[in-house]
Amino acid sequence: MRRADRLVRIHAMELKATSTRASLFPDVNVGDSYRAPARAATPPADRPVFLEFFAGSGLVAQGLKNVFRPVWANDNCAKKADVYAHNHGPRYFHLDSIANVKGKHLPTADMAWASFPCQDLSLAGLLSGIDGKRSGLVWEWLRVIDETRHRPPVLVAENVVGLLSADNGSHYRTLHAALVSRGYRVGAMVLDAERWVPQSRPRVFVVAVDERVKLPAGLLSDGPTWAQPDIVCKVADGLEKWVWWKMPEPSRRKVSLSDIIEWDAPFSDPVSDKRNIALLSERHAEKLRQVSEHRHFAAPGYKRTRDGKQVLELRFDSIAGCLRTPSGGSSRQLLVIAEGKRVHSRLLTARETARLMGAPDSYWLPQAYNDAYKAMGDAVAAPVARWLGKKLLEPLAIASRIHVRSKT
């Protein structure tokens, strides 16, 4: 294909992708396709407020924008704090170890969210468990909650599925018991970002509510729903004050992997490129030739060791694998891009990682690739946080405010 024709084709694909991304994020600027929503947003002063622990690069705050109002956020990583401040402002961000945070100094809030470190619960990590050096920081979070003048009536703890599966669920049961002992009713859900963005990223969301709050019937189920797969049912068996949370199931995702790709991004250097392609199995190489015979095709993949040999394993379902960072015990994800007989490889671009996390193209990222990749790879997918916030957390926060008013 001539270079001029290729550029025209790439430009057409980018225009289509921009329009598709705009439909996924109707409340943010994505080029000329943006139109302001007809319904006015809730006035900021009336929104429930939240505290965010382990806030990282701010994708939870992005997802909860116009749903909750952040009044305090914390992380100990200066580079992630810089991303947060660029996108949400530095006014209420507290850069320090959570071990140094004193609950009595925090503002009163309707909710506290903690995406506590996953390394000790991740199958890609060391599996030291919920008392490990990093994942064990969840206990510092609960210490801070205990020290607050008015304990938040709604708590959210987010982590990897290993929280439920490792050691037959003992780590989750320990956390559940700790929340129940503090006067909360608790339920867990597994939400996969794949329902909203083209990335397989299942995560556990533990939602706890003050047991004195009257819960709206529409938020409760008599048993498991789409958000509670078998792994949740298994760990929930016999637990005290367990809640089956109920949310509407999201509609089918509209965005595919091809919609978020920067097709004109440079490939790896020739030596690395050749080495990467050589790691493909003959079966994957042949399948790649078939699907790319008449079109561009991008297949994400990870380098893995099989039978003592390194291979590059691809997936062909137009969904990226879970973004991971080296600190989580895994390699970076590659893209193999093919059109006919032309096959090349490269890393995901920083902007592609942000799109896979549901961040708009206006979201500020560091110039250094490693910093941008880590900022996104360690985060919560923004559309997941938004769905959870709108469909469950906001109604719970409102119910808790009604409870407080009824007691005064």
Q: How far apart are CA 119 and CA 136, in angstroms?
A: 10
Phi, psi of 42 (to 5 degrees): -60, 130
Instruction: Please name the residues in contact with 136: beta carbons below 8 A apart, sequence gap of 6 or more.
Output: 120, 130
Looking at 77, 118, 233, 322, which residue is catalytic?
Answer: 118
Q: Is 77 a catalytic residue?
A: no
Report angle CA 360, 109, 60 to the nearest 5 degrees: 20
SS3 content of the chain, % helix, strand, coil (to 5): 40, 20, 40
Q: Taking a C-beta distance cutoff of 8 angstroms, is the pair 375, 57 a contact?
A: yes
Q: How far apart are CA 318 and CA 392, in angstroms?
A: 30
Q: Taking a C-beta distance cutoff of 8 angstroms, is the pair 58, 353 a contact?
A: no
Tell me the C-alpha to C-alpha distance, in Å, between residue 146 and each of 138, 139, 142, 150, 318: 13, 10, 6, 9, 45
Number of CB atoms found within 10 A of residue 375's CB: 30
Q: What pairs with residue 306 in β-bridges?
A: 309
> So which residues are the catalytic ones?
118
